[in-house]
């Protein structure tokens, strides 16, 4: 069954989980294509309010009767077969599609589909690319798994010939996409509740690269062992970017740091393409900028648009996001939830002019904490003060019997807090003027910093 046959004006689409970060933009895009869109979600919120203001009816709570006379259903990954709307659709013979299938079909309508994948850095790089394409006045359609200040949301419905999409490997969802330009930032072992091991992750990314047509481009990070392994023996040219290897197609030259912020030349095949001064720190963000600039170069944008676009980028929501101050300490929040992301965040933070790095870390999922336990222990030794909140379960049950207390027992001086309230209390006790306070994780740990700022 091909979802494309249903994406026609007048067809009625029901979106289960319509308030989600990539479902609400999908609703707007489908409505713009002339479909009659409706949906449901477990929670009311700003996204649902916006959709209702656009005339899209949204039911709160899931029930079979919400389907009405719809022609097909699109569901978010969090909605399973036992959901009453899904089982109700199956009973009535109404086709059910995954969110990624819908986005994939929509991509086919664009000349350029810039799809950005990787274990880390997807949201930031997709956001950087968005800034560049907006600076070039290309009027792109955008889908990001986070909030971007420039858009006041995580998406944008444009009328240009380019769609820019954050492309996630979890459950192989990016294999439903139709990239004309596929970016691979890095490939590491993650989502091990779905993938068997690193080799399985690499196979998935290889299949993602193979989706690119002959006329398209594969862009990848020469400095990342996983990306090199994924594309070993790839039968078509790969456009490589690198921080370290001047033989790569795109690299950084004359890299200089001022107050923790980098400026550098983007050199493509031996010629300076753009001079970039970033307003976000860290070597990882230089890499992200090279990836975004590589995509812009291959799609014919000017180096001047790259420079202007990147100069206005100040980070995506929950990506080293400044939240405020508490008694002379700066409070920032970050989504890092994998050892590689922690390393990038904490090494960048240590280069900034603060007296101490105070980190409140909330691990995300039992399976990830268990599988990458030793790597987490190593990275969590980097901050000066470490407070560990209990693991955020997300979609999982604790069948592995793992706890943040286990991490704390391996890290000298770490304090384990079984609840966020206790973590807030501990942070209040240790914080000093001149500290950089980081609340870190993909769950709800940001509430700890927000509670202090409110005081």
Q: How far is CA 430 from the centre of its chain?
A: 31
Question: What is the Cα–Cα distance from 12 to 95, expressed in whole angstroms?
Answer: 12
Q: Could you confirm whether 381 is annotated as catalytic? A: no
Helical segments of 361-419, H only: 366-371, 373-379, 404-410
> What b-and-e string marks burial along 361-394, b requiring 16 or more CB atoms within 10 Å of the CB?
bbbbbbbbbbbbeebbbebbebbebbbbbbbbee
Q: Return the axis-axis angle of helices 99-107 and 24-32, rounded to nearest 10°.
A: 40
Q: Is the dihedral of CA 274, 237, 200, 173 positive or negative?
A: positive
List phi, psi (to 5°) of 208.
-60, -45
Determine the 3-state secondary structure of 349 from DSSP: helix
**Strand arrangement of the beta sheet that strand 72-75 belongs to:** 58-60, 36-41, 12-16, 72-75, 96-98
Taking the C-alpha atoms of residue 173 and residue 158, their distance in angstroms, rounded to an integer, is: 23
Phi then psi for 187, rounded to 5 degrees? -135, 115
Catalytic site includes residue 123: yes
Active site residue 166: yes
CB 37 within 8 A of CB 50: no
Active-site residue among 28, 122, 202, 439?
Answer: 122
342 alpha-carbon distance from chain centroid:
15
Q: Catalytic: which of 28, 166, 188, 283?
A: 166
Question: Which is the catalytic residue, given 119, 123, 141, 365?
Answer: 123
User: Looking at the annotation, which residues are catalytic?
Assistant: 122-123, 166
């Amino acid at each position: 069954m091909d979802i494309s046959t249903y994406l026609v004006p007048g067809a009625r689409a029901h979106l289960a989980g319509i308030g989600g970060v990539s479902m609400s933009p999908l609703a707007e895009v489908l409505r713009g294509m002339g479909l009659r869109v409706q949906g449901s979600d477990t929670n009311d919120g700003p996204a649902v309010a916006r959709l209702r203001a656009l005339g899209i009816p949204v039911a709160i709570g899931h029930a079979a009767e919400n389907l009405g006379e719809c022609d097909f259903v699109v569901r978010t990954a969090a909605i399973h077969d036992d959901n009453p709307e899904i089982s109700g659709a199956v009973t009535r013979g109404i086709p059910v599609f995954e969110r990624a299938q819908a986005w994939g079909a929509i991509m086919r309508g664009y000349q350029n589909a810039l799809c950005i994948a990787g274990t880390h850095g997807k949201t930031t790089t997709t956001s950087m690319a968005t800034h560049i394409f907006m600076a070039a006045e290309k009027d792109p359609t955008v889908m990001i798994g986070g909030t971007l200040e420039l858009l006041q949301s995580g998406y944008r419905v444009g009328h240009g010939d380019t769609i820019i999409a954050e492309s996630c490997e979890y459950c192989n969802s990016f294999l439903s996409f139709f990239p004309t330009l596929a970016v691979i930032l890095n490939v590491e072992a993650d989502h091990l509740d779905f993938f068997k091991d690193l080799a399985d992750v690499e196979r998935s990314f290889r299949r993602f690269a193979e989706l690119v047509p002959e006329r398209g481009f594969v862009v990848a990070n020469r400095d990342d062992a996983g990306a090199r392994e994924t594309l070993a023996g790839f039968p078509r040219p790969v456009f490589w970017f690198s921080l370290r290897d001047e033989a790569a197609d795109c690299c950084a030259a004359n890299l200089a740091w001022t107050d923790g912020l980098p400026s550098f030349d983007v050199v493509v095949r031996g010629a300076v393409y753009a001079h970039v001064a970033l307003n976000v720190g860290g070597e990882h963000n230089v890499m992200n900028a090279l990836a975004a600039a590589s995509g812009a170069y291959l799609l014919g944008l000017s180096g001047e648009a790259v420079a202007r676009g990147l100069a206005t980028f100040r980070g995506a929501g929950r990506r080293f996001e400044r939240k405020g101050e508490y008694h002379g300490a700066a409070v920032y929040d970050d989504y890092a939830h994998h050892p590689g992301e922690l390393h990038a965040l904490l090494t960048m933070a240590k280069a900034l002019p603060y007296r101490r790095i105070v980190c409140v870390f909330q691990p995300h999922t039992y399976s990830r904490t268990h599988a990458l336990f030793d790597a987490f222990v190593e990275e969590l030794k980097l901050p000066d003060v470490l407070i560990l909140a209990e693991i955020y379960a997300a979609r999982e049950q604790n069948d592995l019997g793992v706890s943040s207390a286990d991490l704390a027992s391996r890290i000298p001086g770490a304090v384990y807090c079984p609840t966020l309230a206790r973590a807030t209390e501990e942070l209040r006790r240790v914080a000093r003027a001149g500290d950089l306070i980081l609340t870190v994780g993909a769950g709800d740990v940001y509430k700890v910093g927000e509670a202090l700022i409110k005081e």
